[in-house]
Amino acid sequence: MTTNLNAIPLGLYRMGRHLEDGHVFRIGHPLTQHILDDATNKNLPETEIAFDYSGHPLKISILEPFVGASGYLSLARLSVEPF
């Protein structure tokens, strides 16, 4: 999907409801859709990531078997949702 950039109002954007001093930045807004479309279509290079479990104050049992392990992690699409 291609977003018509001329249809996106210029100005200040904020997240929240009932804002009087800017545009509401929400998932269905054309600006948000343009950002998501652009990010989805980017071809990113492979990179290295290191997880430092030793610096975490709590024990995370599900991760214990992986401490000291190495390998490959493939991420096709990341979705973040509030809880």
Q: Whole domain around residue 33: which residue ranges?
A: 5-40
Q: Is residue 45 part of a domain?
A: no
Q: Is residue 79 part of a domain?
A: no
What's the pTM? 0.51
- Amino acid identity at 69: A
pLDDT at 2: 66
Total domains in the chain come to 1
Q: Is residue 82 part of a domain?
A: no
- For residue 24, the SS3 value is strand
pLDDT at 53: 82
pLDDT at 68: 87
Q: Is residue 11 part of a domain?
A: yes
- For residue 19, the SS3 value is coil
Q: What is the pLDDT along the chain (83 residues), one digit of tens a residue?
A: 566 788 788 888 888 777 788 888 888 888 888 888 888 888 888 888 888 888 888 888 998 898 888 888 888 777 777 76
Q: Is residue 78 part of a domain?
A: no
